[in-house]
Amino acid sequence: MRPTTTDPSIPTIKRRLTVMLYEAVLLFGVLAIAGLLFSILFQQRHALYLRHAMQIWLLIVVGVYFVWFWTHSGQTLPMKTWRLRLVTADGHALPLRQAVARYLLAWLWFLPGLAIAWVLGARGWMAVAIIGANMAAWILSAHLHPSRQFLHDRIAGTRLIQLPKNPPVAQP
């Protein structure tokens, strides 16, 4: 049975975007610590020294963060807070390969816009507008899909589901 927008297990796009914002706040701390560790280990004295190696390191750290949570519980802390869980298209726990694929595909939120801005030589607000348009197109792809799943979820064979609220605990 194909889920539709009236299915209560399908989270709203607003809820999903809110979780992404919360995730960004938490990742700021994770990346700050990972960057500090990299700088200490490699005795980085200024930002340009080993810049590309640090970028790759941070990409790996973020990937490990998401893949570990998605494969172990299907939820990061923001996903638990907002009662969302990542599962396979048929509702099972996510295997490692699918979690890695989803992580890499999720970068399509930004990479096409960054590539277009780079090719056009866009700077400042023009680059922001191009990347923003890319993200808006990504959001629109979910609005147009019957189950409101983003394109990277559909390609990776995953989906986010809304968990029910916990029933109140009966007082003795």
Q: Read off the pLDDT of residues 87-143 as tens digits, 9 standing for 90 and up.
A: 999 999 999 999 999 999 999 988 999 999 999 999 999 999 999 999 999 889 888
Model confidence over 24-67: pLDDT tens digits? 999 999 999 999 999 999 988 887 888 899 999 999 999 999 99
Residues 96/71, Cβ–Cβ less than 8 Å: yes
Q: At what angle do helices 111-120 and 125-144 cross, to 10 degrees?
A: 140
Residue that the structure tokens 């989803």 belong to: 102
Where in the chain are the domains? Answer: 13-106+147-162
Residues 159/87, Cβ–Cβ less than 8 Å: yes
More confident residue, 48 or 1: 48
* Distance (Å, whole) CA 98 – CA 158: 8
In sequence order, the 6+-apart residues with CB closer than 8 A to the CB of 42 are 49, 50, 53
What is the per-residue pLDDT for 1? 44
